[in-house]
Amino acid sequence: MNFKETSQYNLLKKHSVFLNGMSIKDLFSDNPKRFEEFSTSLGDIVFDYSKNQLDKKAMDFLIKMAESLDLKLKIRDMFDGVKINFTEKRAVLHTALRDNLTKSIKVDGINVIDDIKKNFDAMAEFVNDVRDGKFKGATGERILDVVNIGIGGSYLGAKMAIEALKPYKTPLINFHFISNIDGTDISEVLKKIEPETTLFVVASKTFTTDETMTNANSAKKWLVEKLGEKAVKNHFCALSTNKKLAGEFGIPEIQVFPFGDYVGGRYSMWGTIGLPICMAIGVDNFKKFLGGANLADEHFRNTDFDKNIPVLMALVSIWNINFLETVAEAVLPYDNYLKYLPLYLQQLVMESNGKSVDKNGNPIKYQTSPIIFGDEGTNGQHSFYQLLHQGTEKILCDFIIPVFSHNEIGEHQLKLLANGIAQTEALMKGKTKAEAEEELRGQGMSDAEIKKLLPYKEFTGNRPSNTFLIKRITPETLGMLVAFYEHKTFVEGVFWDINSFDQFGVELGKQLAKNIVRDLKSDEIITSHDSSTNGLINMVKTLREDM
Ligand code: F6P
C-alpha cells in the first residue's frame, strides 16, 4: 500500500487546498507557540520544521497515514534483519554496525553481530598499527599517505566524514581519494605521494566496479614499477565483501576487511568501508561517530512519531513533494567542514528513492525522490539562492547550522549564524510590494523608477525550510545527523511503497559503456547504434586516430 491508498489521503488533499490559501507567515501570526510546537530535539541537535506551510491538522493526518502504512512494523523489520531489500533478497542492517548493545540479529540463521564485532576489531587493530607506525611499507618506512580508491558508497561517506571531522584528524597522515575513471583523478593524486610511504585502500563492496578496479590496477602498476611486485602486500588493503577477488589482486587475507551483504553501498561507511574515517579520527572517535548514529537509531525506533526527528523530516518532505508539488530539496550546511554533505546526501537519497516502480512491480503515478542539491553557506547565497527566493519552483531547504565553529575568529561565526537564520526568515517572509516600495522611496527614487523596478523587488516568500541547529559538529553529532537522513529516506520509501535499497538504475549505462569501449577499439565504422551515438563514436575514433 502507498500513501495515496490510505484513508487519510483524500482528507489531507482537501486540507492542503485550505493550507494553500494560508501563508507560513499567517501560520506564525495565528500561533505564538509555533516554534515550540513544530520543533523537537535530540541531544545537541534541534530540528525546527515550523517554517513550512503546514499546521497541526496536517501533521496529525500525516502521522495517521504513517500508522496506516504500518511504519512502526516496517521499522522493526529493518532493525530485525528481515530481508526488506526483496529484489536482491537481502536484509538491511547498517544499523547493526553501530549497535553496541544488541547481542543477536539473525540473518539466514547466522548471528551477524558476531561477524560485525570480528570485522570491527580487525579493522581497529590495523588502523592502530598504521597510526602508530607499527605497520610499515616495503622499505620499512611508516605510512604518511592513505589513498582511498573507490566510488559511490565506497567513496562519498569517507570523503564527507573525513572533511567534516577535520578538527579530529591525525596530523601524521594525509588522506586522498581516487574515484573517477578519468585518468586525471589518479594522476593528480600520484603526483602528491611517494610509493614508500603510501597505503592504497581499495574500497569496493563487489571488487568488480570498473572505475575502482581500473584505478586500483593503475595504482598497483605505479607501485610495482617503483618498488617491485613484492611490495603490493605492504601497500594495499581492501574493504570488500569479496575476499576472493581481493586476494587474487594480491592483497593478503589479513588486510582484507570484509562486511556482510546486508550492508548497502551507500549505507556502508559505518563498517569497514569507514576504515579511512577511523584511521583519520582514531578508533575512539570513530566509536563516538557510531554512537551518535546509534542514538539516532534508538530515537527512531522508540520515539512517538510526533517527536521522532527522521519521521518528522520525512512527513515534512512528503507534504511538500506530494501535496504542494515541490520537486527539489536543497541541503545548505553553514559549516565549511560540511561541504561534501550535499554530495553524500545526493547518493543516499536519489540512489535510494529515485524509483518509479512500486513493490508490486507497478508503475508509480506520484512523485518519489526529490532532486537533491546544495552547497555550503554563504557561498550558495551568492550563486543559486536567487532561484530559492524568486524562482518559479518552490524548493524545500534544509539549513544545517552549527552554533559553534571549530574556528572561532572575531565575528565570523556570529555573521555566519546570522546569515543562515536570516535566509530561513527571508524565504518565509519574502518582501511585499509595499515594503519594497517604501525601501525604494527611501533610496530617493522617483515614482516612475519605482513603478518600473517594483515587480523585480518583490519577494513572494512562503518558501519552506527546515533548520537543524547543532551545537557543534563532532563525531557524535555528525553520526546522528547522517542517521537521521538515512531513516528519513527509509520512511519516504515506505510512503511511496518502493524498495529504497536496490539501485538497478545504475546498471544500464555501465552495460552500454562496455559495448562502446569495444566499438571504440574496433577498426570498423560503427553503425549498430542510433545515428547520434554512431556519429559520436566514429568522430571520437577519427579525432583520436593521430594519437
Ligand atoms: O553506483 C552503483 C553502486 O553500486 C553504488 O551503489 C555503490 O556504492 C557503488 O556503485 C560502488 O560499488 P562497489 O562498492 O561495489 O565498488
Catalytic residue among 192, 415, 452, 510: 510
**CA–CA distances in Å: residue 315 to residues 111, 162, 444, 494:** 34, 30, 47, 11
Mean per-residue pLDDT, 10-29: 95
Of 173, 179, 117, 124, the residue nearest 154 (C-alpha): 179
Calculate mean pLDDT across residues 198-210.
96
Ligand 1 contact via 90 beta carbon (within 6 Å): no
- The minimum-distance atom of ligand 1 relative to the CA of 156 is 8
Nearest Cα residue to atom 2 of ligand 1 = 506
Instruction: Say if ligand 1 is within 6 A of residue 346 CB.
Output: no
Instruction: Answer whether residue 230 shows pLDDT above 70.
Output: yes
Among 209, 343, 345, 502, residue to substitute to test ligand 1 (most atoms within 8 Å of Cβ)? 209
For residue 136, CA distances in Å to 195, 228, 231, 340 come to 12, 16, 11, 31
Going by alpha carbons, the residue nearest to atom 10 of ligand 1 is 152
Q: Pairing state of beta strands 236-239 and 198-203?
A: parallel
- Which residues, including other chains, have CB under 8 Å from residue 102's CB and lie 6 or more apart? 96, 113
Q: CA 71, CA 58: separation in Å to the nearest integer?
A: 18
DSSP H helices, 230-282, are 232-235, 243-249, 275-281
Residue nearest to atom 9 of ligand 1 (CA): 152
**Interval 451-483: pLDDT, tens:** 999 999 999 999 999 999 999 999 999 999 999
233 is catalytic: no
18, 55 Cβ separation under 8 angstroms: no
Averaged pLDDT for residues 39-45: 98
Nearest ligand 1 atom, CA 209: 16
Share the mean pLDDT of the chain. Answer: 97
Nearest CA to ligand 1 atom 8: 153
Ligand 1 neighbour 265 (Cβ under 6 A): yes
Instruction: State the pLDDT at residue 160.
Output: 98
The residue written with cell numbers 563492496 in the block is: 205
Cα dist from 243 to 23, 150, 204, 250, 253, whole Å: 57, 16, 11, 11, 7
Per-residue confidence at 223, pLDDT binned at 50, 70, 90?
very high
Question: 475-496 vs 156-164: helix axis angle to the nearest 10?
Answer: 140
Q: Is 154 in the pocket of ligand 1 (CB under 6 A)?
A: yes
| Beta strand residue intervals within 206-347, DSSP E | 236-239, 256-257, 328-333
Ligand 1 centre to CA of 206 (Å) is 8
Q: What is the pLDDT of residues 348-366, one digit of tens each?
A: 999 999 999 999 999 999 9
> Rounded to whole angstroms, how far apart are CA atoms 170 and 404?
21
With cell 563498517, the residue in question is 271
In this predicted structure, the answer to whether residue 116 has a pLDDT above a threshold of 90 is yes
Closest atom of ligand 1 to CA, residue 154: 14
pTM of the model: 0.97
Q: What band does 377 get if pLDDT is binned at 50, 70 and 90?
A: confident
Question: What strands lie across the sheet with 39-42, from one edge to the other?
Answer: 39-42, 45-48, 465-470, 395-402, 328-333, 371-374
At 134-192, the pLDDT tens digits run 999 999 999 999 999 999 999 999 999 999 999 999 999 999 999 999 999 999 999 99
- The stretches of 138-282 forming alpha helices (DSSP H) are 156-164, 183-190, 210-227, 232-235, 243-249, 275-281
Q: Considering the candidates 196, 211, 329, 351, report the single residue annotated as catalytic.
A: 351
Q: Which of 161, 149, 163 is nearest to 239 (CA)?
A: 149
Say if ligand 1 is within 6 A of residue 156 CB: no
CA of 122 to the centre of ligand 1 (A): 23
**pLDDT at residue 60 greater than cutoff 80:** yes
Q: How many CB atoms lie within 10 A of CB 197?
A: 17
Is 154 buried (19+), middle (13-18) or exposed (0-12) by CB count in 10 A? buried
Determine whether 191 is exposed, middle or buried from the number of CB atoms within 10 Å of its CB (0-12, 13-18, 19+).
Answer: exposed
Q: What average pLDDT does the segment 97-122 reach?
A: 96
Assess whether the C-beta atom of 241 lies below 6 angstroms from ligand 1.
Answer: no
The pLDDT, as a whole number, for residue 546 is 72
With a 6 Å cutoff on the Cβ, whether 215 touches ligand 1 is no
Is the pLDDT score of 547 beyond 90? no
Preceding omega of 378 cis (within 30 degrees of 0): yes
Strands 45-48, 39-42: pairing kind: antiparallel
248 CA → ligand 1 middle, Å:
20
CA distance 10 to 4: 8
The predicted-structure confidence for 339-349, as pLDDT tens digits, reads as follows 999 999 999 99
Q: Tell me if 503 CB under 6 Å of ligand 1.
A: yes
205 C-beta closer than 6 A to ligand 1: yes
13, 118, 230, 382: the catalytic one is: 382
Q: Which ligand 1 atom lies nearest to the CA of residue 151?
A: 11
Residue nearest to atom 3 of ligand 1 (CA): 152
Query: How far, in Å, CA of 192 to CA of 176, rounded?
Result: 9
What are the backbone dihedrals phi and psi of residue 449, each rounded to the nearest 5 degrees, phi first? -65, -40
Rounded to whole angstroms, the Cα distance separating 129 from 164 reads 24
The contacts of residue 236 (CB under 8 Å, 6+ apart) are: 199, 200, 201, 202, 216, 220, 223, 249, 250, 251, 255
Tell me, using a 6 A CB cutoff, whether residue 272 lines ligand 1: no
**How far, in Å, CA of 528 to CA of 516, rounded?**
10
CA 503–ligand 1 middle distance (angstroms): 9
CA 264 – ligand 1 centroid, Å:
9
C-alpha 154 – ligand 1 centre gap (Å): 7
Cα–Cα separations (whole angstroms), residue 97 to 268, 297, 490? 9, 11, 17
What's the CA angle centered on 512, arms 508 and 514, to 5 degrees?
120
What gap in Å lies between CA 490 and CA 352, rounded to an integer?
A: 8
Regarding the beta carbon of 266 and ligand 1, being less than 6 Å apart is answered yes
- Residue-wise pLDDT tens digits, 267-314: 999 999 999 999 999 999 999 999 999 999 999 999 999 999 999 999
The reply to whether ligand 1 has any atom less than 6 angstroms from the CB of 212 is yes
- 429 flagged as catalytic: no
Instruction: Considering only CA atoms, give the Rg of the chain.
Output: 26
Q: How far apart are CA 149 and CA 190, in angstroms?
A: 12
Quick check: is 94 catalytic? no
Q: For residue 160, how far is the Cα from the chain centroid?
A: 9
Task: Name the residue type at position 416.
Answer: L
Name the 3-class secondary structure at 397: strand
Mean pLDDT of 525-543: 97
**Residue 501 · residue 92 · CB < 8 Å:** yes
Q: 364 near 498, Cβ under 8 Å? A: yes
Where are the alpha helices (H) located in 375-446, listed in sequence order?
385-390, 412-429, 433-442
85/351 Cα distance (integer angstroms): 14
